[in-house]
Structure 1
Amino acid sequence: MICAIAELESDRHPLAKWYDKKSKDTTRGIMQLLPKTADWLYRDLHYQSYEVEGNPDLLFKPFVNVYFGAAYLKWLSNFDQKERSEEFVVRSYKGGTKKATSKKTLPFWQRYLSVKENYPPRKMCEDGLSPNHAFSATAPSALSVPSSQNINVAYMCWDSRASPEDMEEMWNHPEVLNEWSKSGEKKGKVRFSHDEKKRPYLSRVELKAVAEIILTHHFSTKGLKPTVLCALAEVVSMRFVYGLGPLAGIMGVDYSTALWLYTELGFRAYKVDSVDDLTKPFVSMYFGTAYFIWLSGYEGRERSPQFIIQAYMMGPKNVNFQETGPIWLKFEEALSCYGDIKKDQGGCSIM
């Protein structure tokens, strides 16, 4: 539980901090604790192994932060003198006890389950995305909609994960309009497809439309094919809205990378205030595309398609063509699902 929450809250960054404009509070450290929460645990509940009261910067130390994070989780597990479920504890940790059943904390709980499922072990490359995700050409693919047997299941809607402007673009896309009309979707209540575990994902038609819209509006001069971005999403996330394991969103870009692209490189068409923003398809696609383009000119050199794809998956410092060949093959397999693979001198045309 602690590992999964730390993954979601800070992407494992000990010095992470986030300012909430509404409450005007700043959470700190690997488990994103409020200083006033740590002070309360220290003063009133006598968790005093670390003298954190009046010294909020101590929360940037992993042992201190995890100590008070675990103490808070323990308190939540017996809130109001009642033994609480794991779901209550996790959702309360994110939004407070009053929002333990609110739809606002449901996405956090769903992502928590996905991350927790991948512990242990966590096989991640130090400087990039995980190369260990298996690609399936068949799942998920078909649009799954509620039936009489699961009519009470809460299906996540597109409208909660995209802006009105982006939704209008989706409705104006001919293939999306055709797919949504056939499945009976209505404006304001467009459901995502869901797998048997009730995890929301994008259909291939939806994914391709998102890629096309992002490229048209923000990267039209780069000559990048939307099918390339779709193939990356297939390999990295299997098109799941929340991503796979610790990788957030359809493009699997971690929060620190997205924040760097936003603050340092000026990619600011979409805000990225928290990891949760990266579970929005348009936001994830935007920053995934920005990262892809940055890699294409890594260290001031024009890079080959094989380098870009493998650097995206493993980090540019970890590219080794002899060892990472299987990743390129998975990418080619995914690309073929979109009917856009052209062999050329042993490679693949992606730009």
Structure 2
Amino acid sequence: MEYDDMWYSDRDLRGCYSVKDGYRKLGELNGPCLPVWGNLWKLQVPPKWKNFLWRALSVNLPTLNNLIKRRVELINICPACGTDEENVMHILCSCYFATHVWNISQLPIPSFDGMNFVQWMELWLGVSAAYNTEAHGRICGLLYDIWSARNEAVWEGCLPVLYVLLQRFSARWATWIASEQQRSISRVPHAPPTPNPLLPPPTGVICRVDAGFHGPTRVPAYGIIVQEADGSFVAAGNGPLICSYDPILAEALAMCEALSWLRNNGFSMITVYTDSSILVSSLSHACSFRTYLGYVLLSCKHLLSTMSSSVVNHVCRDAVQAAHVMAKHVSATLARSQWRDVPHPFLEPDVANAI
């Protein structure tokens, strides 16, 4: 096949770059990704609290030490306590004002001693932290309110009274919990996509396709079963595939093998069954893919277009069990094999179940 070279992202099924992929890649380049970074976005709190906490972890808050690094001419004196230099850990945790807020709140937070902000966050939001969802939310919300109080000191010249700050936080938290409970009541549960139980009657022959991987090295192989509409056996085949461990790509290559065999053997009215819903939906958007998978999908669409009546349907795993057995048979990784008119003995029970 001859195609023009193009840029693509190896982190996306379609090969299209996204900011999310770039963010993850940047995190990998800058060092190991601590669990706290992933758990941050799982917090059940208002989005602006998550964004604030992300900025604090990224050392992107406009604290005085950060502003000085950006060549803003300031004197680094904490606006809350007026004694120490301001940084993220100081203003949110170890400052005299912040320490009093934490003590009065009676939240079970880890000690601040000798830690930076990321290390302290890891203690209550990391994998090994024994804090429940409510504790996570309350700590996050109180951090946000401490930062808001700091901004009042900067722009209005005064700090809120400690008890007023805590009452304000408690009211916000109660409002958020009530709104979430109301949203969960009104939210309609989203059912996962399931194969359509009312598929139209198949036209012509039925071809069941599946791919599988063998052993610890995950060697790919395909399996196909062709039957008449009444279930009578027509042919079966299996063989190796050439691809890396990529289930979607393997399913697409198996589909391409099946369609090529059907066309080469003179079948023009076919119904193809696969248990990969992603493959079925991807066939409709093959042109948007910038990866090798896109070329395979385009080949499948071309093969389908050469047949007078052809359709690809998503079915449940049990409906292609016979093809799965073919793909997982030990012979599949060795060479291409075909059986015509009479199925191989190892296949007979599964062919009977597929009828």
TM-score, normalisation: structure 1 = 0.22
Higher RCO (CA < 8 A, seq sep 6+): 2
Question: Which has the greater radius of gyration?
Answer: 2
The structure carrying a bigger strand percent of its residues is 2
